């Protein structure tokens, strides 16, 4: 059984890019441990909270120029521009050590 991913990104450009990549999920601005337990989360959340998720994914965009980065931060960049800048999903598992 697969569970629906949770998306915490607020940047509309990222959410649009995810949708174009076939990644859809429930959008929650502020998550609790119960919201994300054993789920795949796309977004930035604190480490203490990330330990409850099965996986955490972020979007890396290595090829943005400074002006593009400024537009990106304002949510004013297109899916095509993100693709051209080499956007990709990086996924992690966070586990406590003590």
* 84 inside domain: yes
* 98 inside domain: no
Burial class (CB in 10 A: 0-12, 13-18, 19+), 92: exposed
* 13 inside domain: yes
* 58 inside domain: yes
Range of the domain at 59: 6-92
* 1 inside domain: no
CA–CA gap between residue 63 and residue 52 (Å, rounded): 31
Beta pairing, strands 55-60 & 40-42: parallel
Positive or negative, the CA dihedral 98, 44, 29, 20 is: negative
Query: Residue 3: pLDDT band by 50, 70, 90 thresholds?
Result: confident
Model confidence pLDDT, tens digit, residues 22-60: 999 999 999 999 999 999 999 999 999 999 999 999 999
Model confidence pLDDT, tens digit, residues 63-86: 999 999 999 989 899 999 999 999
Phi, psi of 24 (to 5 degrees): -125, 150
Q: What is the total count of domains within the chain?
A: 1
């Amino acid at each position: 059984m697969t569970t629906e991913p949770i998306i915490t990104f607020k940047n509309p450009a990222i959410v649009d890019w995810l949708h174009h990549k076939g990644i859809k999920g429930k959008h929650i601005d502020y998550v609790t441990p119960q919201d994300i337990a054993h789920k795949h989360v796309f977004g930035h959340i604190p480490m203490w909270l990330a330990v409850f998720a099965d996986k955490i994914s972020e979007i890396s965009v290595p090829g943005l120029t400074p002006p593009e980065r400024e537009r990106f931060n304002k949510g004013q960049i297109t899916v095509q521009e993100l693709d051209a800048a080499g956007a990709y999903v990086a996924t992690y598992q966070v586990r406590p050590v003590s």
